[in-house]
Structure 1
Amino acid sequence: MRLATFVAFLAISTTASPVEKRADAFGIDISSHQGSNIKWSTLKSHGISFAYVKATEGRNYVNPYFKNHYDGAKKAGLLHGPFHFARPSASSGSAQASYFISHGGSWSADGHTLPGALDLEGGCAGLTKSAMVSWIKSFSSQYHSSEKRYPVLYITTNWWKSCTGNSAAFGSSHPLWLASWASSMGPLPAGWRSAAIWQYSKETGSTPGDQDRVSGGSAALKKLALGH
């Protein structure tokens, strides 16, 4: 990600519409691709109030910049949360949840830590729809047993339909992080009436990195952190 471009974009996007800025909380999600030199205080000054940081993938990868990213976001006063990139074909959901928790994925009821998120994308991993639902339930059950919170589920509506058969089994308990790179969210997956987080822009060329927003501003963001 080219940080100078990112900051310039934020300066425009977060000041062009004061009403929109008040109505939503803006955030980013990052991984090792962004490197270690992220100016967190600058991002905060340009309207960023939360960040999700990739912690793990499968059961054999830890983001080498995770601590740097996570501590940086925390020190700057941003709400922060970890996410796990799922590899459903590699090992069980419960095993990956345990790996995630052991390598930065835990949650704290401190009002600043967002619940861990499960990043589901990249095809159906050769699983049937029912097997994918079972895998997600396995991950979720293990995470909830340890952290007393259900993980946020990061998905696109198309992925959810293709890989779970549009299951409605998670909407009442799991916050939705919807990826929809358009001017509006579009249709939601079955079971959810709203999205807790909307990833509305993804890094492409000179476009800034992944950008997210929470409708309802800081109050809704705090509610997500506290789980009520």
Structure 2
Amino acid sequence: MPRFLIALLATTMIGLTGCTSTSYDFGQTTSLKKMRYGDRDPQDFGSNHPGKHEVHGIDLSKWNGTDIDWAALKKAGVSFVFIKGTEGKDRIDSAFRTHWRNAAAAGIPHAAYHFYYFCSTPEEQADWFIANVPKEANMLPPVLDMEWNHASPTCKLRPDPETVRDVMRRFMNRVETHYGRKPIIYTSVDFHRDNLVGAFNDYHFWLRSVAAHPSAIYPGRRWTFWQYTSTGLIPGVKGELDINVFSGSAKHWNSWVAAANR
């Protein structure tokens, strides 16, 4: 792991300039001991658990509804929100505009994510994302969500790793050119194992890991965000939701957000 000053320098270079993906390993040094939020299906992460991280956030889609108390979320310590924006070349999440508007009104840093669909081109999908996601302040870097979609009724394609990495690069280059921010890559364990091991090391990663610390199941992958549960409970949202942590301290986070909005 890099020393503090190196890690802090790395955070200030995110966004417009496109820096390397960073993991501060802050969970090894902080004095926080308990999980911050409730969980309907809590997991035992051992000593290196999400509660050791200072900065928490959520991700939302239409499945969470729009009856959300944003003031309560902010009071509960939610520091960021990833919002589902688009999917494929012609689908927009029905709650996106409401979530986006309310996150901005609450003053919570937010970003949209695009769920990739293998049956249309990356150019079509990037253009659809750009057409629907505003380019504005108080916005974190955009996110490309890469997963195998086993339940899709219309697209069963599973391209080879070389093709996967090619379409990702084309999508991200187009989006970065428009927003001036290097996209974050969200992925799951199986998709990463099949396609992304050793790839895109100059991007920030947001990793799904709901049963163990990311270091245990994404060996060698440096991460910036960790989605640790899909059954979390936070005041302001009815029902279960995804909860995430940022890998660095609150000071790192403030520098990270400031750099993303220059």
TM-score, reference length from structure 1: 0.79
Of 156, 167, 172 in structure 2, the residue corresponding to residue 135 of structure 1 is: 167
Contact 1:114 1:224 in 2 (8 A): no
2:200 aligned residue: 170
Kept in 2, the 8 Å contact 1:151–1:175? The answer is yes
Does the 8 A contact of 2:56 with 2:78 survive in 1?
A: yes
Q: Secondary structure at the match of 1:210?
A: strand
* Secondary structure in 1 matching 2:126: helix
Find the aligned partners of 2:163 and 2:100 in 1 and give their Cα distance: 33
- Structure 2 residue matching 1:56: 3-state secondary structure: strand
The offset of 1:125, in angstroms, is: 3.1
Aligned partners of 1:156 and 1:222: how far apart in 2?
27
Taking the aligned partners of 2:178 and 2:187, their CA distance within structure 1 comes to: 23
- Give 1:91's match in structure 2, choosing from 120, 131, 139: 120
CA-CA distance at 1:71 after TM superposition: 1.4
* Residue among 183, 198, 204 paired with 2:226: 198
Match of 1:147 among 179, 185, 190: 179
Question: Highest relative contact order (Cα 8 Å, sep 6+), 1 or 2?
Answer: 2
TM-score between the two structures when normalised by the length of structure 2: 0.70
Determine the structure 1 residue equivalent to 2:14.
none
Could you tell me which residue of structure 1 aligns to residue 142 of structure 2?
116
Q: Tell me how far apart the structure 2 counterparts of residues 184 and 142 of structure 1 sit (CA, whole Å).
A: 32
Deviations 1:123-171 (A, max 9, x none): 5832111111111011111111212222110012331121x2x343311
Partners of 1:29 and 1:53 within 8 A in 2: yes
Q: Which residue of the partner structure matches residue 41 of structure 2?
A: none
- State the Cα RMSD in Å: 2.8
TM-aligned CA distance change 1:189 to 1:13, over 3 Å: closer
Over 3 Å counting, the alpha-carbon distance change for 1:207 and 1:148 in structure 2 is same
Q: Give the C-alpha shift of residue 34 in structure 1.
A: 1.0
Aligned residues: 205
Counterpart pick for 1:36 among 55, 66, 71: 66
State the alpha-carbon separation in 1 of the partners of residues 250 and 104 from structure 2. 16
Pick from 58, 72, 79 the counterpart of residue 88 of structure 2: 58
C-alpha distance in 2, partners of 1:62/1:201?
24
Mean alpha-carbon deviation: is it higher for 47-56 or for 69-78? 69-78
| Separation of aligned partners in 2, 1:157 and 1:135 | 19
Q: Distance in 1 between matches of 2:100 and 2:81?
A: 8
Contact 2:148–2:158 under 8 Å retained in 1: no
Equivalent position SS for 2:226: strand
Residue 208 (structure 1) shift: 2.3
Give the % identical residues. 25
Q: Distance in 2 between matches of 1:13 and 1:187?
A: 21
Offset at residue 207 of structure 1 (A): 7.2
- Please, which runs of 5 or more residues in structure 2 have no aligned partner? 1-33, 39-49, 150-155, 233-237
More helix by share: 1
Unaligned 5+ residue runs, structure 1? Answer: 1-11
